[in-house]
Amino acid sequence: MRITVRDIQKMKDDHEPIVMLTAYDATSARLSEAAGVPMLLVGDTLGMVIQGHEYPIPVTLDHIIYHASIVTRVTKQALVVGDMPFMSYHVSIEQALTNAGRLMQESGVSAIKMEGGESLAETISRMVDAGIPVMGHIGLMPQSVNQVGGFRVQGRDFDSAQHLLRDAHAVQAAGAFALVLESVPAQLAQMITEQLHIPTIGIGAGVHCDGQVQVFHDIMGLFEEFVPRHTKQYAHMAVDMRAAISAYVHDVQTRSFPTAENSFSMKDEVIAALRADGSDGE
- Residues tagged active-site: 182
* Distance from C-alpha of 215 to C-alpha of 233, rounded to nearest angstrom: 10
* Distance from C-alpha of 170 to C-alpha of 176, rounded to nearest angstrom: 9
| 5, 178 contact by CB (below 8 A) | yes
Name 236's bridge partners. none
Spatial CB neighbours of 122, under 8 Å, sequence gap ≥ 6 = 93, 174
| 93, 114 contact by CB (below 8 A) | no
Give the relative orientation of helices 93-107 and 61-74 as an angle to the nearest 10 degrees: 30
Angle at 40 between CA 185 and CA 117, to 5 degrees: 45
